[in-house]
Each structure stands twice: as C-alpha cells, then as structure tokens.
Amino acid sequence: MEAIAAGRILPVVVLHDARAAAPLGAALIAGGARSVEVTFRTDAATDAIGALSGNPDLLVGAGTVLTTAQVDRAVEAGARFVVSPGFSPAVVHHCQALGIPIFPGVASATEIQMALDAGLDTVKFFPAEQLGGVAMIKALAAPFRSVRFIPTGGVNPANLRDYLTQPAVLAVGGTWMVAPDLITAGRWDEITDLTAAAVFAAREC
Ligand code: 3PG
C-alpha cells in the first residue's frame, strides 16, 4: 500500500507472451515505476507475474482477478497484491485470509459500503472516466471520508493531474504507458518515456 501510495502510478499490463515480462519490467523501472499490475486476461499472466516478481525494484500485483483460484495462482507466482474489477466478497475474504492486500473495484456508494464492511478503505474506482471521473470521485469522497480511490479506466496523460490532485485519490491505474501495441512491437524506450512522464507528473501533484 505504501509503495503504491508513494509512486501513485500503477501501470496495468496485459501480457500475451511472458517472455516480454523481463524487458517490460526493465522499461518500467527505467521510467521510475515501482509497481505494476499484471492482469489475468491472458494465459501468460501467471508466468509473467513469476518473471516480474523476481525483480526487487518492482512491486508486482495481479489484476482482473475474478476467482479465488486466480488469487491462489497469483500469490503462488509471487503477486504481492490483488486487484479486481468489481467487489467479490469471495475474492476479498480469500485475500484477507491469506494476508494479501486486495483492492476491489467499486462503482457506487453501495459497493464502497461493502468494502468498508469488509474492513477495506482503499478501492479501485472502475471504470473511472465512464463513471463520471473526478466529479464522481468528489461526490463519493464527501460521505466516505476515510476511503482512498485508485481510479482506473480512461485515465491518460491529459486527465492524470485532475485525478492525482484529488485528496481522495491514492494512485491512478492505467494501460496508457504499457499499451498492448507498444509491448507487441517491443517499443521499450517508448514505454520508459511514457512511464517517466507519468511518474514526473505524479511527483508534481
Ligand atoms: C483496467 O483493467 O483497470 C482497465 O482496463 C484499464 O483501463 P485503461 O485501458 O483505460 O487504462
């Protein structure tokens, strides 16, 4: 949690080939990222988490985790935190039983109350832009003063500062610096540059 709060930028990665994990990790670290979320949207996720988590400079988490079985696979592979797109009591309770930080997705006041009931105060806000972006976060933060959000979905270099200057925003997540076409084409320098720009912007907020 502290590492994510300190870096404030959480790259969300979809890797189709785990062999890309090593150069990707190096590119992210070169850009100043200190954490990464590897999504369970591909069969390569477990191997990619394994490859990346060997890196002491990177906090590696698993994203798009929908089942307790995926939690187990992620943790076994070395994931240090878990993110899910929505609020699954089963996934949340399983992570808590294992002692692994879980950031469930919320999209409404009701889901935030579910998170609070589960003892959580940091949630992913997904899909952020489609839900109303910063205005929605402000509205939700008013009654839920202890809650910190990680908005993800539609965050980009143009709106990054708007999110990060919100006191209720712990960090932002997104794919813009690790877009699938950049990874497929092995454009590691570009990934480093986009990451560095985001990290720099976050430091200024
Ligand atoms: C996620 O998995 O959190 C989102 O799909 C990332 O959204 P983005 O591609 O708009 O950054």
142-169 pLDDT, tens digit per residue, is: 999 999 999 999 999 999 999 999 999 9
User: What angle, rounded to 10 degrees, do the helices at 68-77 and 45-53 form?
Assistant: 30
Residue 187 lies in a domain: yes
Domain assignment present for residue 30? The answer is: yes
Q: Is residue 124 one of the residues assigned to a domain?
A: no
Q: Which pTM does this prediction carry?
A: 0.96
Structure tokens at 36: 């990464």
Instruction: Note the pLDDT of residue 1.
Output: 86
173 lines ligand 1 (CB under 6 A): yes
Residue 37 among the catalytic residues: yes
Residue 124: active-site member: yes
Q: Is 12 in the pocket of ligand 1 (CB under 6 A)?
A: yes
Please report whether residue 121 resides in a domain.
no
In whole numbers, what is the pLDDT of the chain averaged over residues?
Answer: 97
pLDDT at 15: 96
- Number of Cβ atoms within 10 Å of the Cβ of 142: 9
Is 75 domain-assigned? yes
Predicted confidence at residue 115, as pLDDT, reads 98
Residue of 76, 111, 124, 129 marked catalytic: 124
Percent share of the chain, pLDDT over 70: 100
Average pLDDT over residues 59-82: 98
**Which domain, by its residues, includes 70?**
2-105+155-204
Judge whether 176 lies within some domain.
Answer: yes
Pairing mode of beta strands 81-83, 102-103? parallel
Q: Is 174 in the pocket of ligand 1 (CB under 6 A)?
A: yes
The count of domains in the chain is 1
pLDDT of residue 44: 95
CA distances from 73 to 50, 100, 110, 127, 168 (A): 10, 13, 29, 25, 31
Query: Ligand 1 centre and the CA of 3: distance in Å?
Result: 20
Q: Please compute, for residue 79, the number of CA atoms within 13 A of its CA located in the half-sphere on the CB side.
A: 31
- Tell me, yes or no, whether 131 lies in a domain: no
Count of alpha carbons within 13 angstroms of residue 195, beta-carbon side: 27
| Catalytic one of 2, 37, 76, 129 | 37
Q: Say what the pLDDT of residue 8 is.
A: 96
The CATH number assigned to the domain holding 37 equals: 3.20.20.70
- The alpha carbon of 90 and the centre of ligand 1 are apart by a number of angstroms equal to 23
Which of the four pLDDT bands, split at 50, 70 and 90, describes residue 19? very high
Strand partners, 81: 61
Q: Is residue 116 part of a domain?
A: no
The pLDDT of residue 2 is: 86
